[in-house]
Structure 1
Amino acid sequence: MTLSSPIDHSLWLDCDALYMEHRTLCLQLQDNHQLNVNLLLLALWLDKHHYILPKPQWHELQQDSRNWEEKLLLPYRQFRRRSKVLLETDEYQQMLKLELMLERKSQAIILKALQSMQVKQQTDTTNSNCGNLSHYLALFDLDSRDYPSLHSQDSQ
């Protein structure tokens, strides 16, 4: 089935909570492996809600979001990080707010792409705890079993 109403912009509110729970690891994966934190959080959210997105579609989402990020978000993030030592606290906070706005744009791009994809509701959820997480991490030659704290959210 093509995804429609079950997943909308409100999923990012849930993802914000997941981010707060896994912030340090998310940023480490972003910085060390160039993962897209929004896609990582989406994988966790989909697993938690028992949806499955096939592996080729994870590759497509990664490519689409990477194109957007390389044009604007990543250069801005690098600029913000380099500027930190040169700016007053309030100026730096303004830069962070702008980066968050760019992240929200990235989320909208991901959601639009996701809504045209074949996302399936899983009926047998006994072995589905980390399918999306595994698919996404595999794009970076990472194994989801190496990140057990990300699996813990499935039981909540």
Structure 2
Amino acid sequence: MRVGRTGLGVVALVLCAGLLASGCTSPRNALGTRESSCFKALPVARAAVRDRGRFAGVRYLTGEALVRVLGALHPPERGVPPRANSRHVGICVVAYSGHFDASEVADGRPVDARAGRLALVVVRARDERLLATIVIEKAPLRLTRLYPDIG
């Protein structure tokens, strides 16, 4: 079988186009969502629940949005620390499911009762600083695309 000059030219053109297209992308290890910045907060969150429970999800919010979400169900001052109550503060909420008592987690703040099935660990995104661990019975927000039915 004989390939003419036109056939070789087409093959060369397709190969060059493929190489150029592959050079337009770069390898990434991030999800491409705002939540990807919250994965740096996971060690802080795990320590806050004292290595108990099962990871249940993560969500990036502003402090103002967190107050709005919790305030729809409860008085916001019971769960959210004042230093997180701002639209300019990026917050990572990391959830763990299990049985949690507010006295057994770092900076525990009970919302429904002293104990609950969820611990929502509130970490400031900028410097991975623990702001609070909210103990609650049911998740008041969708936490991640990976675990949409939590709570």
Tell me the TM-score range normalised by the shorter chain: under 0.3
Whose Rg is larger?
2
**Which one has more relative contact order, counting CA pairs under 8 Å at least 6 apart?**
1
Normalization by structure 1: what TM-score? 0.25
Structure richer in strand, relative to its length: 2
Q: Which has the higher helix share?
A: 1
Q: TM-score, normalised by structure 2?
A: 0.25
